[in-house]
């Protein structure tokens, strides 16, 4: 299952600072989209709004045509309302930092949300946790605690934990940025496999340009709270149209 995303004039301000400046965006169900751009351009803020960790200052978020913050009668809903929780339940996210429960094993971390949010029995949650931990290559680490895992293994647990809720949309926020370089490849391989299946809509904020080009259907270049360029990934990286995109990619290539 996958879901579509539509953003209409999406604005986010923090005081006088406008972080997102009227984003209009359609992402069809099942598409994989990479978002690139300099630090502070609004990439992670967009993901936070999709996860309802922040509320838009203006504009609308539609998930499969349904407003995230308004009910069917157009009434504004609070973050803890049944409506917002149900719409948000279609979305999973993997963060830069692992945020695992240190007192729970890999299995325990992955089982937590299926039991307490999805209402699965312990046996059902354990079966699901084992399935997704095996999927990310941790079938032999089910009983390991976070302190016994490497950074890359912790991030794999984080991915399994999000997948275990069987979301229709998955968000990845710089999931390799906290890892040592030699661990990055394994995580990117998992994400590439997930993207190739097209069973979920995926948005990946990344500094890994080669990965974005290979693995996503489409890439957005963000700068100063705007979508400067939106194109099929191969086109954006081989022949960017906008001067600002060209400048950014040249800088990234020279720094690599």
> Among residues 83, 75, 77, 135, which one has the least CA distance to residue 110?
135
- Residue 256: what pLDDT? 62
State how far the Cα of 184 lies from the Cα of 29, in Å rounded to an integer.
Answer: 27
Task: Report residue 126 as tokens.
Answer: 């354990």
3-state class (DSSP) for residue 106: helix
Q: Which residues of the chain have pLDDT under 50?
A: none
β-strands 169-173, 201-205: how paired?
A: parallel
- Residue 36: what pLDDT? 96
Task: Kindly report whether the global pTM for this prediction surpasses the value 0.85.
Answer: yes
What value, to the nearest 5°, has the Cα angle with vertex 249 and ends 193 and 202?
30
Distances (CA, A) of 89 to 34, 39, 105, 139: 22, 28, 24, 26
Dihedrals φ, ψ of 56, to 5°?
-60, 145
- Residue 46: what pLDDT? 96
State how far the Cα of 108 lies from the Cα of 116, in Å rounded to an integer.
Answer: 12
Dihedrals φ, ψ of 255, to 5°?
-80, -20
Q: Among the residues of 71-148, which ranges form H helices?
A: 82-88, 106-116, 122-135
């Amino acid at each position: 299952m996958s879901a579509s995303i539509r953003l209409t004039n999406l604005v986010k301000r923090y005081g006088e600072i406008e972080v997102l400046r009227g984003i209009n965006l359609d992402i069809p169900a099942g598409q994989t989209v990479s978002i690139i751009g300099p630090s502070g351009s609004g990439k992670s803020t967009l993901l936070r709004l999709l996860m309802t960790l922040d509320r838009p200052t203006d504009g609308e978020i539609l998930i499969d045509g349904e407003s995230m913050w308004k009910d069917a009668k157009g009434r504004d809903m609070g973050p803890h309302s049944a409506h917002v929780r149900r719409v948000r339940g279609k979305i999973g996210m993997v963060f830069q930092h692992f945020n695992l429960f240190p007192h729970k094993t890999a299995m325990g971390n992955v089982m937590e949300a299926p039991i307490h949010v999805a209402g699965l029995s312990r046996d059902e949650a354990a079966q699901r946790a084992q399935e997704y931990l095996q999927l990310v290559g941790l079938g032999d680490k089910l009983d390991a605690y976070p302190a016994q895992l490497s950074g890359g293994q912790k991030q794999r647990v984080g991915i399994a934990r999000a997948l275990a809720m069987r979301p229709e949309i998955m968000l990845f926020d710089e999931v390799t940025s906290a890892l040592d370089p030699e661990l990055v490849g394994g995580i990117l391989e998992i994400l590439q496999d997930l993207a190739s299946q097209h069973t979920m809509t995926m948005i990946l904020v990344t500094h890994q340009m080669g990965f974005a080009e290979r693995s996503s259907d489409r890439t957005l270049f963000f700068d100063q709270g705007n979508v400067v360029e939106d194109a099929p990934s191969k086109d954006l990286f081989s022949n960017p149209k906008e001067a600002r995109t060209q400048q950014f990619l040249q800088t990234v290539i020279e720094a690599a």
